[in-house]
Structure 1
Amino acid sequence: MKKGTKILLTILILIVVAVMYTFSTYNSLVRMAENVDNKWSQVENQLQRRADLIPNLVNTVKGYAKHEKEIFETLAQARSKLLNANTVEDKAKANDELSSAISRLLMIVENYPNLKADRTFVQLMDELAGTENRIAVARKDYNNAVKSYNMKVKVFPNVLIARMFGFEERQYFQASSQAQSVPSVDFSK
């Protein structure tokens, strides 16, 4: 084989390998991006579930605590912000506000022993606790998917392919510093 043919064949093989690597990396990035989107939709599903529980919880508490109007308004506003938030960052902020409002509601409940014994209230609190656990799991799954995706997008030479096709780093769903401390609520009194 002639030297020119060998060089041409080597260049052709390198081009084929580069194209195959690009296709493979692109497809991998698409799968990972879809996984992140799927995990995010699970977070949104659980946030929606919690938002749907709030009106029932508020109505149950209202029957016992009619003069606690401010907390009900705060809850309604926080719920509305969560339902209308679009970005991960906005959802995280709205989620923190709603969590804070729920915590304040639960502190008010301490003043109403009959409410704590109400079957509907207890059932709603159980559902809310279950939903909070689901949110935590969905957030963890989402953040793990984002971590894998972001690592794939940032490493060389994938970063070149990711930029070429418009794959960008995704945001984590992070709790605020206020969400780090859990309020103390004791329903056993």
Structure 2
Amino acid sequence: MKNEKGNALLISVIILVAIGIFGIYVFSKYNSIVTSEENISSKWSQVENQLQRRFDLIPNLVNTAKGYAAHEEEIFLKLAEARSEYGSAKSIEDVANANDELSQALSNLFVVVENYPELKSNEQFNMLMTELAGTENRIAVARKDYNEAVQEYNSTIRRFPGSIIANMFDFELKTYFEVQEGIEEVPTIQFEDE
């Protein structure tokens, strides 16, 4: 009889220890996922900071270029539209699409600038171009860091046993910040007098 009570007590202790270990694991994994999710938010903030920096540089660049290339109104309109779209973007997907359009519009401006040697030699324009190039590099780094954080997070919540905990607490996959296909291609600009 004593032996049965001892066995029951031992089994109860083993079960409680197992539940305790499982609970500690769940809380630990939950906290790890939350930390990973917060890392994504932090990385996204850096992407937004750099995109905002570029967004703020563009009017100065456009105003400087307008003085030299006033008849290239379509390019300036496209830049204004792309900036407006970026300003109203809410989701990561909207921001990525607006970024792609803004990048395309900037590429078009750079092609036009090639036809204005006096603009290329303008000190203010060169300074703005240098700042913009630095910002583009920062955007690329911030986007890479963000996408790496998303990859780590998505992998964590998709792998077993993290997937169970992610499902228990409704963690969802995060969206990558991807560039549109073909955005890296240099646009062709046809001038009316050619």
Distance 1:141 1:14 in 2: 38
Aligned amino acid, residue 98 of structure 1? L
Query: Match of 1:107?
Result: 111
Larger Rg: 2
Indicate conservation of the 8 Å contact 1:33/1:149, yes or no.
yes
Aligned amino acid, residue 33 of structure 1? E
After superposition, the Cα gap between the structure-2 partners of 1:147 and 1:52, relative to the gap in structure 1 and judged at 3 Å, is same
Query: Match of 1:170?
Result: 174
2:74 aligned with 1:74, yes or no? no
Distance 1:85 1:76 in 2: 14
2:148 aligned with 1:148, yes or no? no
Deviations 1:131-160 (A, max 9, x none): 000000000100111111111111111111
- State the TM-score, normalized to the length of structure 2: 0.91
Deviations 1:47-71 (A, max 9, x none): 0000000000000000111111111
Indicate conservation of the 8 Å contact 1:48/1:83, yes or no.
no
Q: Which runs of 4+ in 1 moved over 4 A?
A: none
After superposition, the Cα gap between the structure-2 partners of 1:143 and 1:182, relative to the gap in structure 1 and judged at 3 Å, is farther
Alignment match of 1:126 (pick from 110, 123, 130): 130
Query: Match of 1:59?
Result: 63
- CA-CA distance at 1:78 after TM superposition: 0.3
After superposition, the Cα gap between the structure-2 partners of 1:69 and 1:182, relative to the gap in structure 1 and judged at 3 Å, is closer
Query: Identity over aligned residues, as a percent?
Result: 57
**Structure 2 counterpart SS, 1:179:** coil
Distance 2:121 2:138 in 1: 25
Alignment match of 2:87 (pick from 61, 75, 83): 83
After superposition, the Cα gap between the structure-2 partners of 1:183 and 1:70, relative to the gap in structure 1 and judged at 3 Å, is closer
* Structure 1: runs of 5+ lacking an equivalent: 185-189
Aligned length: 184
- State the TM-score, normalized to the length of structure 1: 0.94
Distance 1:86 1:155 in 2: 30
Distance 2:186 2:147 in 1: 21
2:165 aligned with 1:161, yes or no? yes
- CA-CA distance at 1:163 after TM superposition: 1.4
